Chain A
Amino acid sequence: MIRSITKKKPEEEIDRLLNGLGRIFIIGCGTCTTLTRTGGEPEVRAMKERLSGQGKMVTGTMILPVACDNLTGEALKEYGQQIDQADVLLIMTCAFGVQTIARQLKKMVIPALDTLFIGKENGIGQFDEICTQCGTCILGETGGICPVTSCHKGLVNGPCGGTNNGKCEIDSEKDCAWTLIYNRLKELGRLDLMRTYQKPRNHQGEPSPGKIILEASSQSASVQ
């Protein structure tokens, strides 16, 4: 399952955003930020203790099951009074959750996390970015490994000169995507694909902000 991968904002930034705001309601998420240990129950409790220690009043806390879900509106209603009492909502979900909550309530929202990427847990406590949703998929030519996402520079014609013993020039913990692609295509006997020149990418596969409206006829077609 793909996950929204987050990290905690620096405390100074959270303190700056909360400056002058005395009453705070904290919201975590039971899905992705629980998995990444950035907005689950223990992290929400720690945030509450920290803010209380600063003399702030925490009017309440809650963990939404899936913050980005449409049912979030219903779940928030259960805490209506505590939310009403707050000056601001401090939200420990990914940015998708923050926006979902903001749409439901007439309250200022403050994200306590930075949303880093859409990724996958590839080992205990290890999360890797897998797709940048570029809109022009070339996985069919790279053995199923995405260079747009997995190469730091998004290169589509092979490695740069910074590749070093199979690792990336920016971080020896990060694999060189083109070493992985080379190994995969070699294994599959398809190095011809790597030898094929890829023309400059179309960066406007879906011009940002993305929006797709299905036509009525195609909607019914997809249902059949």
Chain B
Amino acid sequence: MASSFKKALKLGKFLVTSEVAPPKGTNLEKMHHHIELLKDKVDAMNVTDHQSSVMRFPSLGGALLVKEMGGEPILQMTCRDRNRLALQADLLFASSRGINNVLCLTGDSVILGDHKEAKGVFDLDSSQLLATIRRLEKGKDLGGNDLDGSVSFCAGAIVTPEANPIEPQLIKFEKKVETGAEFIQTQAVYDLDNFAKFMDYAKQFPVKILAGIILLTSAPMGKFMNKNVAGVNVPQELIDEMSSAPKGRALDKGIEIAGRMIKRIKKEKMCDGVHIMAIGREELVPDILSAAGLS
């Protein structure tokens, strides 16, 4: 059965996805709260997979919780921690429990996380994981063996529209579409004129694109991302605008900016939707949606 997210993709409506992050430990209270708050306000919720290579409660467990609470999960799967046996096994399990949306990622290096001496696996990469999903759907595993019981997924991937240089990134993007990506959630975009240029290129491919929106919480956060996060470019005007907020009101300004960007993306029909990353402040997503006129 097609997932509700897959149906929404096909309907061609303006899509909104957001994220929930599993906890460091077994206390699921905060995650529970975020799912409850967002499940009826977004088309689907990504459940992050040891984000930034920091060991956490698993994305599969988090996706199951979203499902159990009546939400629509997008299972994030990185290739960093599992080889092809483990990835396929987790896909079979996900399918058996009605988790049918998967975001395929290569994954950050373990060196960037909190288990710096761990072995990074990368037996597959993101495009190979997409191809693996399509193969499992045909009833075969990567070893060429028949599967007993079928699977069906809505598979997605990511792209970084502001990557420098951009050309190698676009070749990878095209491979992801060829190997089976039905939707793409982008890395954060802030310069919408640049993003519009990217979309002029991306529109020729049969894939739905959701623009990545990361909530700015302060001016220093914008500067930090420019310096430290690959492929993120926060224009100086936005950093200045964040700085101009009255003391203690930076967050409101960030919400206003995110809302304004989403509104413009929708109004100008730049792409098929947005993926909102509030990074630890998921309770603010409804405010962002209000600011965007989407609630």
Listed in ascending order, the chain A residues whose CB lies under 8 Å from chain B are 152-166, 169-170, 178-179, 181-182, 186, 191, 194-195, 197-201, 203
Chain B residues within an 8 Å CB radius of A178: 168
Q: When A155-B122, A161-B231, A162-B108 are in contact, do A197 and B167 touch as well, CB less than 8 Å?
A: no
Is the CB–CB distance between A200 and B230 below 8 Å?
no
Residue from B109, B179, B230 having most chain A Cβ neighbours under 10 A: B230
Q: When A170-B111, A170-B112 are in contact, do A159 and B168 touch as well, CB less than 8 Å?
A: yes
Q: When A169-B109, A179-B165 are in contact, do A159 and B172 touch as well, CB less than 8 Å?
A: yes
- Bits for B108-141, please: 1 = Cβ < 8 Å to A, else 0: 1101100000001011111110011000000000
Is B48 close to A, CB under 8 A?
no
Chain B residues within an 8 Å CB radius of A198: 128
Is B160 close to A, CB under 8 A?
yes
Is the CB–CB distance between B128 and A200 below 8 Å?
yes
Q: When A158-B171, A158-B172, A182-B168 are in contact, do A170 and B109 touch as well, CB less than 8 Å?
A: yes
Cβ distance B38 to chain A, nearest Cβ, rounded Å:
25
Give A42 to B106 CA distance when docked, in angstroms.
45
B219-253 residues with Cβ-Cβ distance < 8 A to A are 230-231
Is the CB–CB distance between A200 and B123 below 8 Å?
yes
Chain B residues within an 8 Å CB radius of A157: 125-128, 172, 175
In the complex, which of the residues A154, A164, A194, A195 contacts B231, with contact meaning CB atoms closer than 8 Å? Answer: A164
Q: When A155-B122, A197-B131 are in contact, do A166 and B175 touch as well, CB less than 8 Å?
A: no
In the complex, which of the residues B128, B175, B178, B230 contacts A161, with contact meaning CB atoms closer than 8 Å? Answer: B230
A-B contact pairs, 26 of them (CB 8 A): A153-B106, A153-B109, A154-B122, A155-B122, A155-B125, A157-B175, A160-B125, A160-B126, A161-B106, A161-B163, A161-B187, A161-B231, A162-B108, A162-B109, A163-B168, A169-B112, A169-B230, A170-B109, A181-B168, A182-B165, A186-B167, A191-B171, A194-B168, A197-B178, A200-B123, A200-B128
Count how many chain B residues have C-beta atoms less than 8 Å from C-beta atoms of the other chain: 35
Closest 6 CB pairs of A and B: A158-B172, A164-B230, A182-B168, A153-B122, A160-B106, A157-B127
- Chain A residue at minimal CB-CB distance from B109: A170
- Chain B residue at minimal CB-CB distance from A156: B125
Give A166 to B230 CA distance when docked, in angstroms.
10
Is the CB–CB distance between B106 and A197 below 8 Å?
no
Chain B residues within an 8 Å CB radius of A162: 108-109, 230
Give A163 to B220 CA distance when docked, in angstroms.
23
- Chain B residue at minimal CB-CB distance from A176: B168
- Chain A residue at minimal CB-CB distance from B158: A161
Cβ distance B76 to chain A, nearest Cβ, rounded Å:
13
- Chain A residue at minimal CB-CB distance from B174: A195
B78-125 residues with Cβ-Cβ distance < 8 A to A are 84, 105-106, 108-109, 111-112, 120, 122-125
Chain B residues within an 8 Å CB radius of A186: 167
Cβ distance B84 to chain A, nearest Cβ, rounded Å:
6
Give A85 to B168 CA distance when docked, in angstroms.
60
In the complex, which of the residues A166, A195, A199 contacts B128, with contact meaning CB atoms closer than 8 Å? Answer: A199
Residue from B126, B127, B172 having most chain A Cβ neighbours under 10 A: B172
B271-293 residues with Cβ-Cβ distance < 8 A to A are none
Is B142 close to A, CB under 8 A?
yes
Chain B residues within an 8 Å CB radius of A195: 171, 174-175
Chain B residues within an 8 Å CB radius of A197: 127, 131, 175, 178-179
Cβ distance A191 to chain B, nearest Cβ, rounded Å:
7
B9-44 residues with Cβ-Cβ distance < 8 A to A are none
B250-272 residues with Cβ-Cβ distance < 8 A to A are none
- Chain A residue at minimal CB-CB distance from B105: A161
Beyond known contacts A153-B120, A164-B230, A169-B109: 15 more, CB 8 A cutoff: A155-B122, A155-B125, A157-B126, A159-B163, A161-B163, A162-B230, A164-B231, A169-B112, A186-B167, A191-B171, A194-B171, A197-B179, A200-B123, A200-B128, A200-B142
